[in-house]
Structure 1
Amino acid sequence: MSAAPIRFYHRYKQAVEVERVLGERWMRLAYDNPAGRFVVWLLTRRAFFSRWYGHKMRKPESALRILPFIAKYDIDADEFAKSPFDYKNFNEFFFRALKPHARPIAAGDAVAVFPADGRHLVFPNVDTADGFYVKGSKFSLAELLGDDALAAKFAGGSMLISRLCPVDYHRFHFPVGGTAGDSRLINGWLYSVSPIALRHRLRYLIENKRVVTLIETPRAGTVIMVEVGATNVGSIQQSYVPGRPVQKGEEKGLFAFGGSCVITIFAAGRIRFDADLVEQSRNHVETYARMGDRLGTLT
């Protein structure tokens, strides 16, 4: 199962595509055999490894990687808020801002939007889902949130898992408008969140470093956002001001270098996900969509 290519549904092309995985050979060596997983356990899941790689990506000479990376992965530089030649290092390019209108926000007070660019899975009821990335492979909300009482309030709730690849825009945004509270850090490891790794062990998502934020909204009640770190993503930076009203689509924060994940949780009966997302997710196929695009309707 893990050696199979990663396929996803491209919402805009309405076709299934195969993901081009950055460092795929290394990823498969690391997670597809026992010796590689031992090296991950011993070394790459630890914070110092990501700090070392992050330091490497902040060196001025790392800027030489930018143009080849844009060309190899066909990234649209016209969306960037500044020229590719103006980034001082690769990490600065990685968490780049976009032009104000590069990601239109779907209109409508009852419409929720994707919080990030990436490949998305939705689960209308987390309690009855038959698995997330692999059939039968799940985790509990209590484990994810580190809070039994909070998890109990979201029993039977709906969940969106948004997986960001290194080639994606790496800022995350609010899927709904409301008032965001303080963010709460749950420290943990930094395993990869690629399906190559998650097919072996989905629990990496609840063992990794993560940040939990509650958003109080007028239509959907409380909505939870969880940003999950991963290998080479030791830094999850928040840019919003706690306690201040936020608009749907407003920037919440950013990830430094690497792949990462944002999980959004709605209380039971509070959202109706769009049909194409539900259909693909039922078959454990992620849907590629961009931040600001329509996710579903608040109920």
Structure 2
Amino acid sequence: MIKFYNRKLKEYEIELVAGEKYLNWIYSSRVGMNLLELFVKKKAFSKLYGLYCDTKMSKSKIDAFIKDLNIDMSLVEKTQDEFSSFNDFFTRKLKTNARPFSDEKNILISPADGRMFAYENIDLNNIMQIKGVNYSLFELINDKNTASKYVGGTCLIFRLCPTDYHRFHFIDNGVCEKSNKINGSYYSVNPVALKRIPKLFCENKREWSVFHSENFKDILYVEVGATCVGSILQTYTPGSRIKKGDEKGYFKFGGSTVVIFLEKNVAKIDEDIVNQTELGYETKILMGEKIGSK
């Protein structure tokens, strides 16, 4: 059972988890953990499932997924019958007015839908993955020069559930450098897995890039893959001019994570998000929602 904070209702809710019984068994039993290490975390497993999700046959999964996990299709560009495969549905685009955001230059917005943790004044060698489990930014991106810019800065973790809109966006105007790819495993990014796999973010396949923003200095974007995520696809053009809210990329099937690092004293994260993080609870966030200020 995963409890998160709904900041709009100011109350806690229980997350609807796709494949919850499977996840609990894999990450909590001896047999499941052995199977995880032998097969499930491997690229081949996620690639094969990803290929299936690209086929016409996988369309049969869409109806049950929508009903079981309460997906709001009124916000989606396509109708349910227009999707060519499950991945076509999973990477769905939303209508232009579905995720409004402020153009105010001092407002920090969320890059994605998801469940959010916020850590301020970070120690680069001990960044919180989940309460009690830490990792190093140097290990996460394998680039000491870039990592060193974020000493004492802010780390924002956005966990995208399979039920979420799976495209991620830029949070300011600016220019983004090319994306750097790091090969790795394909563990789940569900809290069940985060508690069991030390430095999971540093183990999984990931990509990172530096975004030179107009109002929040240099922002480090890190996209982390997960079990059954066939691909992390970047849709922006490196070096081109970017507007706040523009799409950066998307994940194919599976729960995934976007991690953002801000330099020291660049932004102040909203108090309710920081307080819930300190209590060990993620806050539910939508793309474009205000999460802080300059």
Same fold (TM over 0.5): yes
Contact 1:44 1:50 in 2 (8 A): yes
% of aligned pairs identical? 38
Is the aligned partner of 1:109 residue 2:111?
A: no
Counterpart among 158, 163, 166 of residue 167 in structure 1: 163
Matches within 5 A, 1:76-155: 76-127=72-123, 131-135=128-132, 137-155=133-151
Deviation at 1:107, TM superposition (A): 3.2
Q: Give the distance between the partners of 1:11 and 1:56, measured in 2 at CA.
A: 37
CA offset digits 1:161-200 (Å, max 9, x no partner): 0000101100010122211111100111111100010011
Q: 2:179 is paired with a residue of what secondary structure?
A: strand
Q: Give the distance between the partners of 2:142 and 2:208, measured in 1 at CA.
A: 9
Q: 1:288 is paired with a residue of what secondary structure?
A: strand
Structure 2: gaps (5+ residues): none
Is the aligned partner of 1:7 residue 2:14?
A: no
Q: 1:109 is paired with a residue of what secondary structure?
A: coil
Q: 1:74 is paired with a residue of what secondary structure?
A: coil
Q: Give the distance between the partners of 1:40 and 1:201, measured in 2 at CA.
A: 11
Matches within 5 A, 1:46-57: 46-57=42-53
Counterpart among 232, 252, 265 of residue 236 in structure 1: 232
Is the aligned partner of 1:258 residue 2:274?
A: no
Is the aligned partner of 1:38 residue 2:29?
A: no
Is the aligned partner of 1:284 residue 2:280?
A: yes
CA offset digits 1:252-273 (Å, max 9, x no partner): 0010001000000001111100
CA offset digits 1:210-243 (Å, max 9, x no partner): 1101011222211010000000013000000110
Q: Give the distance between the partners of 1:182 and 1:17, measured in 2 at CA.
A: 38
Matches within 5 A, 1:172-251: 172-251=168-247
Q: Give the distance between the partners of 1:277 and 1:214, measured in 2 at CA.
A: 24
Structure 1: gaps (5+ residues): none
Contact 1:215 1:223 in 2 (8 A): yes
Deviation at 1:34, TM superposition (A): 2.6
Contact 1:190 1:234 in 2 (8 A): no
Higher mean alpha-carbon deviation, 191-200 vs 122-131, is at: 122-131
Q: How many residues end up aligned between the 2 structures? A: 293
Is the aligned partner of 1:60 residue 2:71?
A: no
Following TM superposition, where does structure 1 have runs of at least 4 consecutive aligned residues deviating by more than 6 angstroms? Answer: none
Deviation at 1:131, TM superposition (A): 3.9
Equivalent in the alignment of 2:153: 157
CA offset digits 1:19-66 (Å, max 9, x no partner): 111101110111012321111111011111011101111221211221
Q: Give the distance between the partners of 1:77 and 1:199, measured in 2 at CA.
A: 33
Q: TM-score, normalised by structure 2?
A: 0.96
Q: 1:53 is paired with a residue of what secondary structure?
A: helix
Equivalent position amino acid for 1:191 in 2:
Y
Q: Give the distance between the partners of 1:231 and 1:108, measured in 2 at CA.
A: 37
